[in-house]
Amino acid sequence: MVEKRKPIAVKDAIEKVLGFSRVGQIEHVALQESYGRFLAVDLVADHAVPPFDRSPYDGFAIRSIDTISASADLPVEFEVIDEIGAGYVSDHLLGERQAIRIMTGAQIPNGCDAVVMLELTKVSKRNDKVFMSIKRPFKKGDNISFAGEDTLKGSTLVKKGAYITPGIVALLATFGYDTVPVVYKPRIGIIATGSELLDVRETLVPGKIRNSNSFMIEAQCRRGGAKPIYFGKLMDNLDECFLAVQNALRSVDFLITTGGVSVGDYDYLPEIYKRLGANVLFNKVAMRPGSVTTVAEVNGKLLFGLSGNPSACYVGFELFVRPIVRTFLHNERPHLQKIKAVLGKDFLKPNPFTRFVRGQLTFSDGKISVSPVGLDKSNVVTSLADANVFIVLPGGSRGYQMGDMVDVLLIEDQTGSETSWAESFK
């Protein structure tokens, strides 16, 4: 008699998994390697930006008081006493009707309280001296970029756990992070099981297919922020699979297996969990695809038994592995970000379980719409190429029609969400 599994709600399954979350330690990487990593400390401004008053234009540094009477009929003339480019500091103190030629980014000279753009001035030379005249008055502070106007010393600019974007890389450089404290990437072991699996380079023979799941999971690990470690593909042989799982578990933070998790004669994962003395958190989730997704724990270490079916495997990773990776990385938004979109095509399949349909989000005329891509079966692989979202269709309905507003989970997004997707029937 085949064991009857009791499905649990997706949200509950995610919570059970997160009950065994761990957090990673700090390591340091070169600034140029920091993009895409997760910051291990708060980034606090240890100096003001800009650190000094500076000119935002190429022009002349002046004293505004000297310009009060300037007009088109009666321009005011200044003697130009110095010239400074960015990176240099003038040692002159501006006196009455004196100006310093200044370039964008240069520090404002002493005595100056306004800058005039080059285009608003007329320059002339007399007796080896340079003069500049202007035709309108300027106020104190005109065209000065003040110290601290970008940020003040002591401001927290980026929180620990943030995904490092190119913009954050700019901040890290601004504050002198030659090396960056980032969170150590969790090591995720990957084992593919299945006697039907060929290596990528092998030629197809009857009854066999190429292993695609382990490579897909490696890429998903990288997208999630983890370091994948591939332990190879195994035949459906209980002893071999058991030993491989037992060995791999020793050297990784989390372990993923694909295939062999259902109720077939050669689905050995359930027996492997028994032999390991693992605590199985769940072995059926009320969702499609990926209903057979199983998660177990041995001495606090999680083992993700993802389905062999490619689409189910993909969904299982994003819903259950990604949040544990992001939590490990100290990220405060470990779940997939959810938005609403208009369904662009009918999806009329009824289903008792919530469906995570691979879909593509498109933007046109200010409307966000989403359409399923490819065949919606858990054993398909081709639909994954075009999918950038999961369309979440709660169970218990007779299907969904074009124009319905639906929940969509963004799988290419790095912002994430604090809360996990929850069944709306609850």
CB nearer ligand LQZAQKY5, residue 212 or residue 337: 212
Instruction: Please select the residue that binds ligand LQZAQKY5; options are 84, 94, 312, 324, rule is CB under 6 A.
Output: 312
Contacted entry of Mg ion, ligand MOO, ligand LQZAQKY5, none for residue 263, CB cut-off 5 to 8 Å set by kind: ligand LQZAQKY5
Q: Indicate whether 352 belongs to the interface with Mg ion (CB under 5 A).
A: no
Using an 8 Å Cβ cutoff, are 173 and 35 in contact?
no
Within 8 A by CB and 6+ apart from 24, the residues are 183, 184, 185, 186, 253, 328, 329, 330
Q: What residue 371 binds from Mg ion, ligand MOO, ligand LQZAQKY5, none (CB within 5 to 8 A, per partner kind)?
A: none
Q: Is 343 in contact with 401 (CB distance < 8 Å)?
A: yes
| Cβ-contact 19, 324 below 8 angstroms | no
What are the angstrom distances between the C-alpha of 346 and each of 56, 350, 368, 399, 406?
55, 12, 16, 8, 12
**Shortest gap between Cβ of 209 and ligand LQZAQKY5 (angstroms)?**
6
Task: Determine the Cα–Cα distance for residues 354 and 371; give it in Å rounded to an integer.
Answer: 17
Contact flag: residue 235 with Mg ion (CB under 5 A):
no
Our separate counts of H helices and E strands in the chain read 7, 24
Task: Scan residues 171-230 and list those touching ligand LQZAQKY5 (CB under 6 A).
Answer: 192, 194, 196-197, 209, 211-214
Applying CB under 6 A, which of residues 161, 189, 259, 290 lies at the interface with ligand MOO? 290
Site membership for ligand LQZAQKY5, residue 337 (CB under 6 A): no
Provide CB contacts within 8 A for 355, sequence distance 6+: 287, 288, 349, 376, 391, 392, 393, 395
How far is the C-alpha of 20 from the C-alpha of 303, rounded, in Å? 11
Q: Choose one: 196-204, 242-250, 287-295, 332-340; the region binding ligand MOO (CB under 6 A).
A: 287-295
Does residue number 234 form part of the binding site for ligand LQZAQKY5 (CB under 6 A)?
no
259 contributes a contact to ligand LQZAQKY5 by CB under 6 A: yes
Residues in contact with Mg ion by CB under 5 A are 262, 264, 267
Residues in contact with ligand MOO by CB under 6 A are 288-292, 307, 309, 312, 378
